[in-house]
Amino acid sequence: MQRARDIIGLPVIGRETGKEVGSVQDLLFNKQWQYMGLLLKEKNFFHKGTYVPASAVFSFGTDCIMIGAEAITSFDSSSMWQMLRTGRAPLKGKSVVTACGRHLGFVADVYIEPHAGKIVGYELSDGFLSDMLDGRRMIRDTQRITLGEDTVVVENITDGAPLHLGGFKYDDVHQLPVEGHR
């Protein structure tokens, strides 16, 4: 399991050549939010975008990502991708609500299982002050999540019942470890 913010910004190195081919700008997902690859350069008016398909990634290290030869692929249209931080409707910052209308916070980060190709958790923020005082919370049960265009909806929760996310009562969700700021 890898946290997206630990991947974004890492250098990408060709395993056979040892050449640094770029750095991760964002994570790419398909329309069903399955992990598809690493964005190296966004498409703009003058240049095509470039990415590394998930199948071409050999390893995710703590200091760099190793890829196979000829792994970099270009694309013309970003409409086929969903992205975490960039693009038309990034996942980061979307409001997270229950089906009953209870606001849980905003998506701050995601946890992915790169080789399985899926998101396995969502890190929620209630804002800087709340994060500093109470920490962030994590939703681990991704089966009950609907990723909408504007919001993320957590299904199957009744308004009066205690909120359980990933097997934990919402008010007792494990606090994420406190780390130094980058």
Range of the domain at 166: 95-172
Residues 157 and 108 in one domain: yes
pLDDT score recorded for residue 29: 87
User: Are 6 and 75 in a shared domain?
Assistant: yes
Kindly report the CA angle at 105 between 138 and 7, in degrees rounded to 5? Answer: 50
pLDDT tens digit sequence for 88-104: 778 899 999 888 888 88
Q: What is the mean pLDDT of residues 83-92?
A: 82
* Confidence check: pLDDT of 177 > 80: no
Q: Give the pLDDT score at 147.
A: 84
> Which residues fall within 8 angstroms of residue 38, CB to CB, at 6 or more apart?
7, 12, 24, 26, 27, 28, 51, 52, 54, 57, 65
Last-in-domain residue among 31, 49, 83: 83
Q: What is the reported pTM? A: 0.75
- Regarding beta strands 151-154 and 95-98, do their DSSP bridges make them parallel or antiparallel, or are they unpaired? parallel
125-158 confidence digits (pLDDT tens): 888 887 787 778 888 877 778 888 889 888 865 4
58 plus 101 within the same structural domain: no
pLDDT cut 90: percent of the chain above it: 16
- Span 10-55, pLDDT tens digits: 999 999 999 998 899 999 888 888 888 998 887 667 777 788 999 9
